[in-house]
Structure 1
Amino acid sequence: MKLQLQHASPAVAAGWHADTPGGASACHIAAIGAGYEPQGADMPMAGGGYRQVLESCPPLFSFPIVATAASRMLQGGASPLCKLSAVVAPIGYGKTVLLSTIYQNCLHWQQPAWWFCLDDRDPSVERLLGALEARLGMPPGETLAPDPAMAVHQGGEPESERIGRLMACLRCWQSPLLLLIDNLNYCHDPAVNELLEQLVFNTPPWIRLVCSSTVALPFDMVRCKLHGLLAQYGTAELSFDLDGVQQMLGADLCTRLRPESARAILQQTEGWPAAVRLMQILLSSSPDAEKSLAAFSGVDQDIATLLTTEVLNEFAPPLRGFLLSLSQLRDFDAHLARAATGDAHADGYLRYLWAHNVFLIPVEGEQRYRMHNLFREFLRAKAALEMPEAQRLAVLERAAQHCEKEVRCADAIDYALAAGANAHAAQILERTSAVFVRDLGYLRRYLAWIGQLRATGEYGGWEADYWYVWALVFRRRYGQAREEVARLGERLEQAGEGERGSGRRLAQVARRIEILRITLAVYTDRLEEARQQAGRWLAMSDLEGGPCIDAPFDVATVASAAAIVSASDCRPMDARRMVRAASASIDQADSAYGEGWVAVVNALVLLREGDYVSAYNGLVDAMARARQELGQQAGIVGTMALLASKAAVEMDVPDEARKLLDCGLHQMTTHGILDTAAHGLDAAVKLWSGADAGALSLPVLRRYAAAYPPRLSLMLSCFIARRHIQLGQLDEARREAAALGIGDDLDGALGGRIQAEYGSALRDLVQATQLELLIASGKLKAASKEVSDEAARARSAGRIERLVELALDEAFLSQCMTHNAVPAARYLTRAISLAARRRHLRPFRDRGDLIAGLVNDTRLKDWPFVSEEERRFFVEICSGLKVGNPILEQIQELDGAHTLGETPTTRELELLGLIEAGLSNQEIADRLSLSVATVKWHLYNLYAKLGVKNRASALARARSLNLLQW
């Protein structure tokens, strides 16, 4: 008996199962943040990009849902009782049906439930993480950049970092929530183990989890069970009993069978739901159900294969052929089914299959379907045997063409590659590479596509290869990226020889390749190489294909790279010139992300010079703009937060620094460069208490540093050694410094070796560490010579922050070597004059004992501050110190807000100059041919005008009012 089917009109294609049993309203579809590869379609969006949609609801089934032992246990209340319910059984045991039923039960009980379904495109945990992030309203790890330029410095976030952010968000969840994850067996990523463990053991008890899989969950089930958090459901709980078999057969079929037939079906199928359903389909279409059942035997043949074969054989040849073709598609709607199979009756066939419960599962509401995995696997195997290969490939190629028209470009590429239509796949990639890599962040999938193409000898066009390099960069596969850039260079040379009349186009390609080289050089810490390449790129004239053909963002990128290198190499004038060039170009690019990077580069220059106030204020303003335009979780916000934390630490605002570090540290492995990371680590170490616990523990900071080139780990060792010294842990400091080749004895050649290999920034840091170790070890003469040499170097480089530290070192050495507080106070005064305007408080806090001792051993005249700002800064430094000398009170009495009651006369100003020169009243009288009494009278009037009581206060007050020439 063959089933005959009347072909449906194309008019019904838009809703082919609306009137069928089990039909329901369309499921709600949740669009998740792009940057993932979720199940569903590429949808066009503004700007020519694409975004993906993901099923947010389980499928709706046309057949009656039959209760099993598992469903009865799991539907007893508003939610499953255990923290984790593991549903593990082979294919065809109704796991998706069970989870779908649980979901509907949650709706009934008005309990929030989130649905996630994986498929064969999910070998990694990325899509699941992305869907969870979207549900929680969090920006995803690899995200659609609100500003497309954001991707230029944005890398893929490690799964562990994303999982940590997810858990932090879920720990704040205050109401019951059920997470249902179907088909977890598709995910082979080791990170899924960490995700499950965190979900079970590190979320509130009211957040519960139901997972289905065909294999054991990749998770420590024993530990979970010992804690009483696990409920397991397998084949025994998922199989039908006699009542379930009868429900699946339906009342009509049961009346056509003898009462004992249902028991015979149960015995033959052993309650396997897929087999019972196949029996129901087979027997329902038979004119003599009892006879068909009697003829069936599962002996010596797999029951599912036999039953599926029997069901397929009952279809008319056209429908049978249609199913074999349709099995080549992962999912489909009527339009794709018709286009791919080439069958004009496709929509009618689909309506029939839905009405007769032939293993169609809806996705994306009512308009799109997939086959049950058991049925599809069987059909694909049949198609491989019965359909000519050319016919199967033609189905896939037509599917690729249709998906391309429908702007489902990811599916189009997949189908084209499966069809062996590599040229077609390469053409699509050439048009969409920037979207997939830069805008959507499809890094893993894009790399896989290119890998498949290259395995066949297909290399694609310039755009595909260009963005292939960027994908490698974003994945931090720098060695492979360099090889690809070299290959692009060779290809460019060959193209220049073979292509006529394409000079301008090739010049543009060459310029873009150079940007790749420069960026790679910065990322891999080849600063001299980056400096030379950036200089050549920016110096090219218009005739050579220079700025006239460059995008503004490209110019800003190269100028920023040059500024970073110059700042790191202590060339502030060059760095500022490059910052101005980058700023001018980014103004033309209209890029919020680009503006953020210019702010970062400018801050790097200011921090290198020690101007912490300007750096902090500029970064705070830039962060506010970036948050508004790009979102709180944008990588550039985290990078700016790291730099701002460094400024906050040096300004002695530790609470603010910690908040900024919380924002920036977790993004350090995915965004930024070595120099931005270094400032964040420096701030973190300076806030480290000496105990390894929490986010600022040394092992955590070392892991962050290890994600970058070796120079950062060496810098971190310097930070740690110096912090040990400040904490009085000299032995620990020596052990840390030894890894850098630093000992208690001065090594004059060490700095030169470090500079030759790693550049000026690390050289200066190593020298600072060596100097502090010498001082801490009591080798004061060697340290004194080192201070003098380093001060000269710091002055030539304009490094004010280093000059402040060195002046404080000189104050300490002077006090220790001469036991005279007055010369030491002069060095401290010099440090204050350098630090006051820049709010560089931190080094003074670290030397509180020294400062208190100097204040106690000096007089007011030993502190000749030249401005009110310096005086106030000195008072702030001394606040909280054990100072018993009244001079601090005297200095505080010099109120800068006090205005002159009357302008001093010329004679009084002349007296000020002589007082400053150190002349006594008698000496002044002799110099001016006045009596001593007259001198005293003039001084009395002068003190009244200045609001002071003595010479020292008068001098300090006069300097704050700029009445003296210095």
Structure 2
Amino acid sequence: MTQSAPAVAAQRPQWRPALILTKLAPPRTRHYIHRERAIEQLRSSMERKLTVLVAPAGFGKTSLLSEWKNILAQEGCAVGWMSIDRDDDDLFQFGTYLLAAARDACTQVGEPVPRGLEPDLLAPADAMFAELLNAVAALPRQVVLVLDDFDRLSSPAIHEAVFRLLRYAPENLHVLVAGRSEPAFPLSYFEARGQLLKLDADALRFDSVETQAFFSAISGYALTPAQTEALLEATEGWVAGLQLASFALSASDQAGAFAERIPFARRSVEAYLNENVFVHVPAPLQAFLLQTAVLDRMSVPLCDAMTGTNEAQASFEWLMGRNMFVRPLDAEGQWYRYHALFAEYLRQRLLRERPHEVAGLHRRASEWFAEHSLWAEAVKHALAAGDGDRAAGWVEQCAMNLVETSDVRTVLSWVAKLPAEAVRGRLRLRLAHAWALALTMQAAAARRELQAVEDDIGLGQLSVTEVVRVELHAVKALIAALSDESQRALEMGRKVLELGPAEGSWAEGIGLTTLIFGLSYASGFGEIKRLRRALTFGTGADAPVYAAVYRQSMVGLSLFVQGHLGEAVQTLEDVLRESDARAGRQSAASVLPVGYLAAIHYEWNDLGRVAELLEGRLEMALQSCSLGPLIGFCVTLARLRLLTGEHDEAYRIVEDAEAVARSRQWLRMQVACKAEAIRISIRSGDLGRAARIGHELEALVGQRPESLQGSYLETWQRFQVAHCRLLVARGRPVEAVPILQAVLGEVSAAGMQYLSAQISVALAVAMYSAGQRAQAIQAIQAAVAYGQTNGLQRVFLDAGPVTRDILDGLRQQQALPAGVDLWYVDGLRAGFDALAGTADAVRSTSARSAADYRAEYPVDPLVANRLSAREVEILDYVARGLSNKEIARAIRVAPETVKWHLKNIFEKLKVSSRIQAVRSGLGRDLPRAVDESVQEGR
């Protein structure tokens, strides 16, 4: 007996990893001295894109930036803050916090939060950064993002992403990066353009006035001029040294002694703290400091749990009353942290004096964070305690909840951090991992993971319940569907539903979705119609948006494949409205229905709606769309570009799409892209290129299988039509006729009316070109009848002027065929007359759209993601006219390495010269006189 959806939902652990909000604000400082000199230097950076502040620990970087943040906020800027720790060394997590910082910046100044700043959990990280830039560009004020402790990040992907973010930053965005070392992306790119301000320790050193004010505020002791100079000489303006000196003074009450101790402190902070600070802390408080040293942030309840006492509040008050390197993290005083220098000192001392307690302390922290549903920190401390099994258990309990709410990247990130042996025995965690891989379009990896699970089940190492058995089949069905194995998706979808999944469950929803996909390519249209009446999964407002949109998009696909274009559009437009409202226009959910919609609206010759649907969504589609919608998206966009005469751009779109298809092993999409490339080549008059692509296509598809089943029929149809289009273009239409007749029979038998109409037009053109004019008129009649019912236009117009002649012949018959009216035939004929003006009209619309797009969306994602930071740096030197040897000296590599990089750049940008590469790769960043300098640098 199945359970109701609410009952199932109630049983699920509603755990979600929450953002640590204290990371979105600087620590609060009790005794802060206004840094007028440093602030003026920071102020001068606001006309630039980037400020980099690099200094060792204890120089007051965070305190200075906190003051600067407050000043900017008072002046009306939207300022976002991100305190970085080593756990943020994950591209998706870093991007999530960066979006949160930008959202917080908007909220602080009373701006509505743009939709693009809401994280799309299924969107790739690159799209997340592009959305951030688009949202910032739309804001009516200056936006500043402060990234504190950036040096804690080592991920090349993060440094590449920040480099692209800065490179394409709109005029109203400024980024401030602070840390103990310079960021790993090439600062020279921004420095050469006057877009960078670099500040180091010298800019942060205290002068005598600041020293006196700071010392007086922190210790209550007024320094004499002589003492100030002695202290400055000893500390070299190092603010942490000044604070250490205040401890020495309060401990010994000898004003002349501390200046002599400071040089020693510079050599060894640990030794100085041992001899002059820690020794004067009461013993119970020393224990408190060591027991809480493992924490990155602390609260009173947490510290009570760590120490087993109720003394945390009193301990914090004592420490803060004596300025003992403790900083509150929020206005309410709920969270604290130790200064970085002091935290390092405490951890070293803990390891030296109480190494046997470290694992236990991490375990206590882990348990406390878990009790309060702070899962990221719970997992981190469990791993630090060496308790990988406990961490894996917690991840396992919430992983499927995360999958069902589309937070699959958190699952992938957590599983990557867990020990393999802790994961291996946890079946549900491994299944969640397979789900997450599949939903991020890593079907091959998901299949390997699932195969390993089934191998361990076969060996008796994992036990299977009925619920798990259903889920096993459901994830198999999803992988089959995303791999375009429609027959297997059909079989597995049926199997899932036969096993009786709980009503409203995730497994039931996936079973239904994959079943509809499989039935769409098995002529099961009647069964789909019956299923649509019974669908309950994902219909509520709280249903997972991506899953609901994916299922409804499959319903739209079934109508499209059957040839009911009007019904398909109605279904898909409803889906798109829902996904736009719930997830945003640029979301992974919203690009799913767009590909099919754009293809149909293109067929209706509604080019304005096509441009509106596709604009600004290509990058998201390439990275997050499943196969079918992505084919519709990219092929339609390429055709739109072809109508405006942008042949090279049309080529580039299908080539980029083909690269994605190749990486995901999507044969149907590879064939579609090559078929479209042949079409573009023929329209461009480049038959040689068309023939070369035709040979590649033949090698890719291979021999015809014995039977054409499922979605492979569409793959075979695209291949054969492209082959025949090439035959006709090369003057061999007679050979094309029997091939197209055979394909038409197969597609018609499958009930695919729209594809049948397409092939009928191609067949009529081949017959007419072969001199079989009467047969051509006969062949096109069914397509015209279907076209009149479904509003077809482009299938006739794009087939070329021969089609006009065939339609003329059809009109001259004594009586039109049943279902064909004169107004429709004349309308199609008039469409050919309007073709001359169509290119100009579309070009005008596209130019206007492009201008609007550049204003609204400053990112060029195709180029931005094509080159690495090193390649952009090299291209920048090329733009300035440097030779390969000069570039090699500038970046300290061998000249051959530069040549290798240039070869990769040429291939990525699809160019053949340095000038073309610079124009394509650097675009708007180029000075007008760049051509000459590039020529000189050859």
Aligned 1:260-299 pairs, distance under 5 A: 260-294=226-260, 298=264
In structure 2, distance between residues paired with 1:108 and 1:182: 20
More displaced 10-residue stretch of structure 1: 133-142 or 83-92: 133-142
Partner of 1:951: none
2:783 matched residue in structure 1: 831
After TM superposition, the structure 1 stretch with the greater mean CA deviation from structure 2, 616-625 or 557-566, is: 557-566
- What amino acid sits opposite 1:421 in the alignment? D
Establish whether residue 58 from structure 1 lines up as the match of residue 26 from structure 2. yes
State the match for 1:781 in structure 2. 734
Task: Judge conservation of contact 1:85–1:232 (CA < 8 Å) in 2.
Answer: yes
Q: Tell me, in whole angstroms, the C-alpha distance in 2 between the residues paired with 1:633 and 1:684.
A: 17
Q: Give the structure 1 partner of residue 553 of structure 2.
A: 600
2:723 alignment partner in structure 1:
770
Deviation at residue 665 of structure 1 after TM alignment: 3.1
Rate the CA distance shift 1:328–1:829 in 2: closer, same or farther, 3 A.
same
Partner of 2:187: 221
| Equivalent residue letter for 1:111 | C
Local SS of the residue matching 1:741? helix
2:381 to 415, 419, 428: 415
Deviation at 1:836, TM superposition (A): 1.2
Whether contact under 8 Å (2:59, 2:204) holds in the other structure is yes
Rounded to whole Å, the distance in 2 between the matches of 1:823 and 1:252 is: 97
Matched, 1:875 2:826: yes
- Indicate conservation of the 8 Å contact 1:865/1:871, yes or no: no
- Which residue type is aligned with residue 85 of structure 2? D
2:466 is aligned with what amino acid?
A
Q: Give the superposition deviation at 1:549.
A: 4.5
Q: Does structure 2 conserve the Cα–Cα contact (< 8 Å) formed by 1:68 and 1:241?
A: no
Q: Are 2:534 and 1:584 equivalent residues in the alignment?
A: yes
Say which of 108, 119, 144 aligns to 2:74: 108
How many angstroms apart in 1 are the aligned matches of 2:501 and 2:47? 67
Match of 1:28 in 2: none
| Structure 1 residues 702 and 204: alpha-carbon distance in aligned structure 2, compared to 1, 3 A threshold | same
1:67 maps to what in 2? 35
Query: Per-residue deviation at 1:477?
Result: 4.4
Does structure 2 conserve the Cα–Cα contact (< 8 Å) formed by 1:183 and 1:214? yes
1:826 and 1:453, CA in 2 relative to 1: closer, same or farther beyond 3 A?
A: closer
Q: CA deviation at 1:510?
A: 1.0
Number of the residue aligned with 2:347: 380
**2:453 pairs with 488, 493, 496, which one?**
488
Instruction: Give the aligned CA root-mean-square deviation in angstroms.
Output: 3.4
Partners of 1:91 and 1:373 within 8 A in 2: yes
Give per-residue Cα distances to partners, 1:295-335, cap 9 Å, x unaligned.
66518942565246522222122211211111111101111
- Compared with structure 1, are the counterparts of its residues 158 and 589 closer, same or farther at alpha carbon in structure 2 (3 Å cutoff)? closer
Q: What corresponds to 1:121 in structure 2? A: 87
CA spacing shift, 1:596–1:190, aligned 2, 3 Å:
same
Which residue identity is paired with 1:485? L
Question: Alignment partner for residue 514 of structure 1, among 473, 485, 505?
Answer: 473
Alignment pair present for 1:561 and 2:517: no
Q: Which amino acid aligns with 1:469?
A: A
Number of positions where the alignment pairs a residue of Structure 1 with one of Structure 2: 804
Matched residue, 1:708: 664
Amino acid at match of 1:708: R
Q: Map 1:354-369; keep pairs closer than 5 Å.
A: 354-365=320-331, 366-369=333-336
Q: Shift of residue 832 of structure 1?
A: 0.8
CA contact (8 A) 1:610 1:800 kept: yes
Give the Å deviation of 1:288.
Answer: 2.8
- Kept after mapping to 1: 8 A contact 2:150/2:179: yes
Question: Which amino acid is 1:172 matched to?
Answer: A
- Residues 134-164 of structure 1: CA distance to partner in whole angstroms, max 9, x if unpaired? 435456799577xxxxxxxxx4x33322222
**Which residue number corresponds to residue 638 of structure 1?**
591
Higher normalized helix content (fraction of residues): 2
CA distances 1:94-128 after superposition (whole Å, capped 9, x unpaired): 11111111111113323332222211211133344
How has the CA–CA distance of structure 1 residues 394 and 605 changed in structure 2, closer, same or farther, with 3 Å as cutoff?
same
User: Are the equivalent residues in 1 in contact too, given 2:144–2:176 (CA < 8 A)?
Assistant: yes
Query: 2:858 corresponds to which residue?
Result: none
Per the alignment, do residues 289 and 307 of structure 1 end up closer, same or farther by CA in structure 2, a change over 3 Å counting?
farther
Q: Deviations over 1:859-908 (max 9, x none)?
A: 644451434x633321221224359xxxxxxxxxxxxxxxxxxxxxxxxx
Paired amino acid for 2:759? L
- 1:472 equivalent in structure 2: 437
**CA–CA distance in structure 2, aligned partners of residues 719 and 753 of structure 1:** 26
Residue 647 of structure 2 aligns with an amino acid whose one-letter code is A
618, 636, 653: which one aligns with 1:697: 653
Residues 238 and 305 of structure 1: CA distance in aligned 2, closer, same or farther (over 3 Å): farther
**TM-score (norm. length: structure 2):** 0.79
Alpha-carbon shift at residue 252 of structure 1 (Å)? 8.7
Q: Is the 8 A contact 1:269 1:276 kept in 2?
A: yes
Question: Is the CA contact 1:610–1:840 (under 8 Å) kept in the aligned structure 2?
Answer: no
Q: In 2, are the aligned partners of 1:94 and 1:273 still within 8 Å (CA)?
A: yes
Give the direction of change, closer, same or farther, for the CA distance of 1:710–1:407 in structure 2 (3 Å limit).
closer
Tell me the secondary structure at the aligned position of residue 709 of structure 1: coil
CA distance in 2 between counterparts of 1:114 and 1:299 reads 35
SS in 1 for 2:337: strand
Name the aligned partner's letter for residue 843 of structure 1. V
In structure 2, the CA distance between the partners of 1:417 and 1:141, relative to structure 1 (3 Å rule), is farther
**Are the counterparts in 2 of residues 639 and 676 from structure 1 also a CA contact under 8 Å?**
yes
Partner amino acid, structure 2, of 1:60: R
What's the TM-score, normalizing by structure 1?
Answer: 0.76
> Within 2, Cα distance between the matches of 1:207 and 1:290?
49
SS at match of 1:420: coil
Q: What's the counterpart of residue 335 of structure 1?
A: 301
Q: CA deviation at 1:384?
A: 0.1
- Which range is displaced more, 659-668 or 90-99? 659-668
Q: Provide Cα deviations, 1:567-625, integer angstroms capped at 9, x if missing partner.
A: 34xx21x2542464366243586447454333211222222233322211221122223
Structure 1: distance between partners of 2:15 and 2:295 = 26
Match of 1:10 in 2: none
**What are the Cα deviations for residues 614-665 of structure 1, in whole angstroms up to 9, with x where unaligned?**
2112211222233344444442321001111111112221221122223653
Structure 1: distance between partners of 2:659 and 2:744? 34
The AA in structure 1 aligned to 2:731 is: G
1:171 match: 137
Contact 1:87 1:232 in 2 (8 A): yes
Instruction: Call closer, same or farther: CA 1:168–1:109 in 2, change over 3 Å.
Output: closer
Superposed CA deviations along residues 238-264 of structure 1, whole A, max 9, x for unmatched, are 112222222221179585765422222
Post-superposition offset of 1:833: 0.8
After superposition, the Cα gap between the structure-2 partners of 1:673 and 1:857, relative to the gap in structure 1 and judged at 3 Å, is: closer
Aligned partners of 1:740, 1:474: CA distance in 2, in Å? 29
- The percentage of counterpart residues that share the same residue type is 19
Any conservation in 2 of the 1:427–1:460 contact (CA below 8 Å)?
A: no
User: Counterparts of 1:359-758 in structure 2 under 5 Å?
Assistant: 359-365=325-331, 366-389=333-356, 391-439=357-405, 441=407, 443-444=409-410, 446-447=411-412, 449-451=414-416, 453-455=418-420, 457=422, 459=424, 461-492=426-457, 506-538=465-497, 540=498, 546-547=499-500, 549=502, 551-568=504-521, 571-572=522-523, 574-578=524-528, 580-581=530-531, 584-586=534-536, 590=540, 591=543, 593=545, 594-662=547-615, 664-689=617-642, 690-693=646-649, 697-711=653-667, 712-741=669-698, 750-752=703-705
Counterpart-to-counterpart distance in 1, 2:440 and 2:818? 54
Q: Distance in 1 between matches of 2:752 and 2:266?
A: 85
Q: Would the alpha carbon gap of residues 778 and 420 (structure 1) be closer, same or farther in structure 2, given more than 3 Å must change?
A: same
Cα offset for 1:728? 3.7
Query: 1: CA distance between counterparts of 2:485 and 2:809?
Result: 51
